[in-house]
């Protein structure tokens, strides 16, 4: 569209920072009642099922869903217990839950069941539950302790467990006979329309115009306006396919194909990284990357524990991952897979 006359204000900040900002925007991409219904049945004493699992890939919207649930649910108190990384000591799990529930000196599941009648009905969201394990001998006891809590007969606590999808896949194989999740909410893929709405709603506030690459425009016959519309449709179809419907991945792929120049964003074809660099690697760094995928985030010492590799091999694998742009290190000094690399 034509710029309004006199609109000479400069763009707002870094385009990358703007597109990756944390906000409360929510795209209605699936039925929220699916999440609330089990809580309603429990609250009305129509079921004894008091455990729900929310599982999804990194960037799939778990945090947004939890935040919305904490705002929308008003029938009982609701609270969020964020599991610190890495809590693998079994003796630390129950005291942490006890502190959250204001139950002093909670050390056994039997004690939790004993005080349950004195508690008011409430919903407890256990976020980042994947922080309760390391995939090695002795590294699963903390998660086993949590499983015992979930299996306890409690009338006044509804547990909502939030977990990284690859971690859940691993733990469901290890604890196949011990898992007790009556309700499993798997974060769905966003639709092409919702991905487009998310991208453009963030882009619009950056005060920049979109200009498509000549290759995208020339692929369509017709006049200039029809070429722009065709390029727009093509870009968002490609973006959805490459991102797998994951909103965070879609934003990173959009930025990978974008070049911001003053008031204009020139957009090329968004594409996720090639598999060729991975095929050229030896097995050791691939095992390092696989361990990070399973646990979502690990530091050097934790990687040495789960891979049983010497420090030199682990650090070399991390260096290769950083050089490829495959890894990044978060504020806790733990390594994670870059969102744009998840599909690859």
Q: Can you give the pTM of this predicted structure?
A: 0.87
Tell me the mean pLDDT in the region 83-94. 94
Tell me the mean pLDDT in the region 305-315. 97
Which distant-in-sequence residues (6+ apart) come within 8 Å of 80 by Cβ?
Answer: 66, 70, 125, 127
Flag whether pLDDT at 2 surpasses 70.
no
Percentage with pLDDT > 70 across the chain: 90
Least confident of 47-51, 252-256, 268-272: 268-272
Q: What are residue 327's DSSP bridge partners?
A: 337
Residue 216: the pLDDT is 64
Residue 23: the pLDDT is 61
Residue 206: the pLDDT is 77
Tell me the mean pLDDT in the region 215-236. 68
pLDDT confidence bin for 6, thresholds 50/70/90 = very low
Tell me: the pLDDT tens digits for 24-83?
Answer: 455 565 678 889 999 999 999 888 899 999 999 998 989 888 988 998 899 999 999 999
Residue 9: the pLDDT is 46
Token match 């490609």: residue? 238
């Amino acid at each position: 569209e034509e710029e309004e006359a006199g609109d000479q204000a400069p763009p707002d900040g870094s385009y990358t920072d703007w597109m990756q900002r944390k906000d409360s925007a929510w795209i209605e991409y699936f039925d929220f009642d699916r999440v609330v219904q089990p809580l309603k049945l429990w609250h009305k004493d129509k079921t004894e099922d008091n455990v729900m699992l929310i599982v999804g890939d990194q960037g799939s919207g778990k945090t947004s869903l939890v935040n919305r649930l904490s705002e929308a649910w008003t029938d009982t108190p609701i609270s969020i217990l964020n599991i610190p990384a890495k809590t693998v000591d079994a003796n630390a799990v129950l005291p942490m839950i006890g502190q959250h529930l204001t139950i002093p000196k909670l050390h056994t599941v039997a004690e939790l069941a004993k005080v349950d009648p004195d508690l008011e009905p409430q919903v407890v969201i256990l976020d980042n539950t994947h922080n309760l394990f390391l995939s090695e001998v002795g590294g699963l006891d903390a998660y086993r302790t949590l499983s015992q809590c979930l299996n306890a007969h409690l009338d006044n606590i509804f547990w909502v467990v939030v977990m990284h999808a690859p971690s859940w896949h691993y733990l469901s194989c290890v604890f196949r006979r011990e898992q007790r999740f009556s309700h499993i909410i798997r974060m769905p893929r966003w639709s092409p329309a919702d991905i487009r709405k998310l991208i453009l709603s963030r882009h619009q506030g950056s005060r920049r115009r979109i200009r498509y690459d000549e290759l995208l425009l020339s692929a369509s016959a017709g006049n200039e306006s029809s070429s722009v519309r065709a390029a727009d449709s093509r870009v968002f179809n490609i973006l959805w396919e490459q991102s797998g419907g994951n909103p965070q991945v879609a934003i990173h792929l959009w930025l990978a194909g974008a070049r911001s120049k003053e008031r204009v964003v020139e957009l090329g074809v968004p594409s996720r990284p090639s598999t060729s660099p991975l095929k050229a690697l030896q097995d050791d760094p691939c095992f390092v990357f696989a361990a990070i995928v399973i646990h979502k985030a690990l530091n050097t010492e934790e990687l040495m524990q789960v891979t049983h590799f010497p420090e030199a091999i682990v650090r070399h694998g991390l260096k290769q991952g950083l050089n490829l742009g495959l890894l990044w290190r978060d504020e806790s000094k733990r390594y994670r897979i870059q969102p744009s690399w998840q599909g690859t």
